[in-house]
Amino acid sequence: MTDLLDLRADPVELTAALVDIPSVSRDERRLADAVEHALRTQAPHLEVVRNGEAVLARTNLGRASRVLLAGHLDTVPINDNLPSRRTGSGADEVLHGCGTVDMKGGDAVLLHVAAALPEPRHDLTFLFYDCEEIAAEHNGLNRIERELPDWLDGDLAIVGEPSNASIEAGCQGTLRVEVRTSGARAHTARAWMGENAIHGAEPILRRLLDYVPRQPVIDGLQYHEGLQAVRIEGGVAGNVVPDSCLVAVNHRFAPDKSLAEAEAHVREVFDGFDLTVVDGSGGALPGLGSPAAAELVAAAGGEPVAKLGWTDVARFAARGLPAVNFGPGSPTLAHTQQENVPTAQIRSCAEALTRFLS
């Protein structure tokens, strides 16, 4: 039986309903079914298409411009934080539960707008997709781009990732590398006969400790880069001098730097060491100069800030679309057991998007 969602309900109630349908990555079907059914039955003005566990919907009104609104349906694994619950009341009410922040509050806002605006002033495309929270190769947007690329065309993309109900423009890129040292095994009773690869990693860690990250200002927004060791592996046995050591490093870089430039920079930092690139994704420039983005900023109010993490805005930027993050909730609470969102932010996001699109 398909779960029933009321898209015209208070978006806070809709958020709670979405949260209470578990949708851990690779297990989004139940929620996708509910979203598809709701759009088909409550938003007859939309063309609706199912693609795997993604649900796509759009208007075809012949408007001069098209705005894409995107949100992923999946969450990280549940951590004893379902079903949803509420604390406080009135302006201080808070909704708790897995996905409230990342990003079912944003999904609820987009679904509410999809049903409430049959005659928007821009044509609209809504993308509710799967597998964003796991390896990038599984992201549902990859499949959509291969199979239904015209659904990703537009003039502005709004991704409903949590941004404290303010505009977070662009995003930083991310690069993961592995830096290795090698040595020679020996019995620890005769350690001088070997070469300790873990000890040999000390210069790698020293370079990381001494590293001073850039903080460039782009289009008036300040980004903050980073270079961090995130894992270290080495050791054979309790009585063996290790002959190999691996230090995994993550580099977050501002969007004025390409992925190739980021790789060249990291190779320079670790010059002399064996370095392997594991994966990477470029960032997205703020793109606030486009007319549609400027109108959105005005509708949202407040001052836009730089997005310091990586989000799918980068995928849209790579296709030539200005892209921003705009959704309820604090990114610092994403993926935590304490995930929660002020309900006032859900309503304010819905009101801002309605103003922008009406």
Instruction: Please say whether the beta carbons of 106 and 327 come within 8 A.
Output: yes
Please choose, from the candidates 17, 332, 352, the residue with its C-alpha nearest in 3D space to the C-alpha of residue 164: 332
Instruction: Please say whether the beta carbons of 123 and 60 come within 8 A.
Output: yes
Please choose, from the candidates 186, 209, 210, 211, the residue with its C-alpha nearest in 3D space to the C-alpha of residue 197: 186
Active site residue 119: no
3-state secondary structure of 19: helix
Residues 6+ apart with CB under 8 A from 342: 92, 93, 94, 328, 329
CB atoms within 10 A of CB 89: 9
Please choose, from the candidates 203, 159, 164, 162, the residue with its C-alpha nearest in 3D space to the C-alpha of residue 180: 203
Which ranges of 75-234 does DSSP label H, i.e. alpha helix?
105-116, 140-147, 202-210
Catalytic-labelled residue, pool 74, 123, 133, 263: 74
CB atoms within 10 A of CB 48: 19
Residues 6+ apart with CB under 8 A from 209: none
Residues 6+ apart with CB under 8 A from 264: none
Helix, strand, coil % over all residues of the chain, rounded to 5:
35, 25, 40
Catalytic-labelled residue, pool 132, 161, 263, 312: 132
Active site residue 271: no
What is the set of active-site residues?
74, 132
